[in-house]
Amino acid sequence: MTAATQFFATLGSHFFLILFGGLELVAAVILIGALPKRSLHEREDEKSDRGRSSRRRTRAEGFGAILEDGLAMDGEHVSIIYDRGLQFPCYAYGNVEKLLGVSLSRLQEDVETVLPFFQSPEELKHFWKQYLKWDGAAELSTEIQRKDGRYYRVLVHRCGEKDYDIFVFQNITELRQRELIYKEKMHEAEEASQFKTSFLFRMSHEIRTPMNGIIGMLTLAKGKLPEHHPAMQYLAKADTLSDQLLSLINDILDMSRIEAGKVELEQRPFSLKAFQTKLYDMFAKTLEQKGIHYTVEAEDLTVDWVIGDELRVSQVIINFLSNASKFTEKGEISVRFHQMLLKDGQVDLAMKVHDTGIGMQPEFLDRIFRPFEQEDASTTRRYGGTGLGMAISDQLVKLMGGHIMVESV
């Protein structure tokens, strides 16, 4: 059948439809049915609604992309997009009512509806005032607590050149609980450490007083007996052991003072030359009896008198020399002073103790400055000692602005 150019007019409440395709008729007359008449305004409203729905879908998809690209958050959180131009929270991602206590629609009516659900509404109001003045340059964040005890971190992120900001409310309750537990444990540990330090400090004082009396009595007893009296060897042994015990007590006292931050360094002038002589005289006889060659030397020293804590410097060097003497069977032990820097009235000195003793295993070098550390149990049984000397020396040198290095070859 050839193409028709006629249209059937609307008859009553029925209308007819003819479909044309090219030059051939592809559909017959079809009775659609009885439909009510609609006004032009109704059809325009429908088109408008469809347009708004389409725009809302497009807008929502765009907001979703903003959230995906703008912020990546872990854990339970809600993201709300705020239109700065309209001053309106226009889109949300996540369960707003669960986290904030009110729905998005309630927020859209009045943002202050969220205030009663939080511990300190004034803090939220203050944060909102900060936001209204915010230029988007620096990060804007705060932490708030709900009345049910939950904690939230609030972050605001500006979406580049767009007129939108993202408000992210992140549940950090578990994080705050872990931090609280950590602080409690740290407080308990600090209290235990302070108690230990105080206990050791007091007990060491209490023990040192009678020990000094014992050493004094032993000295008096040795002075009353002939040199070759049979009891002299016992008194000499008791005297040696008493000195070792007193040295241990002094080390514990020093460590307690250091841990408590009660070590005060004196600043007094002393002569480096006289200091070297004292070091030599202190160990020369003992090392000579062991057949060990002992020297104290100075290299390139242009100064003699310096200001510092001579007693503490001496304590450090004596600790090193005592270890060197203990672990060296033969060979030599030397102390060398080297002037490294002299500028503006300040001098940096390097003091090196060298020995030809048994050396140390490489793995022990990493823990040599830890309190009570020794290389192994056999070392303690054979050579004695507590492992406090090096730890004390390290802390004292740090207090004096220096550092210690140990090498074993």
Mean pLDDT, contiguous 10-residue spans, the chain (409 residues):
37 36 36 40 50 47 50 69 81 80 80 77 83 81 84 82 81 88 90 78 77 88 87 87 82 80 87 92 90 89 88 90 88 89 79 86 74 60 66 89 83
- In this prediction, residue 83 carries a pLDDT of 84
Report the distance separating Cα 392 and Cα 390, nearest Å: 5
Domain with CATH 1.10.287.130 in the chain: 184-260
Q: Note the pTM of the prediction, 2 decimals.
A: 0.50
Sign of the Cα torsion 268, 269, 274, 279 reads positive
Q: Do residues 332 and 294 lie in contact, with contact meaning Cβ atoms separated by under 8 Å?
A: yes
- In this prediction, residue 249 carries a pLDDT of 81
Instruction: Give the tokens for residue 257.
Output: 């003072």
- In this prediction, residue 236 carries a pLDDT of 86
Report the distance separating Cα 20 and Cα 362, nearest Å: 96
- CATH T-level assignment (fold) for domain 54-171: Beta-Lactamase (3.30.450)
Q: What are phi and psi of 359, to 5 degrees?
A: 80, -175
CATH class in words for 268-399:
alpha beta
- In this prediction, residue 80 carries a pLDDT of 85
- In this prediction, residue 408 carries a pLDDT of 79
> What's the CATH number for 184-260?
1.10.287.130
Report the distance separating Cα 388 and Cα 55, nearest Å: 76
Domain with CATH 3.30.450.20 in the chain: 54-171
Domain with CATH 3.30.565.10 in the chain: 268-399
Residue (of 245, 263, 253) closest to 311 by Cα position: 263
DSSP 66-135: HHHHH----SSEEEEEEETTTTEEEEEES-HHHHHSS-HHHHHH-GGGGGGGBS-HHHHHHHHHHHHH--
Q: What are phi and psi of 356, to 5 degrees?
A: -110, 40
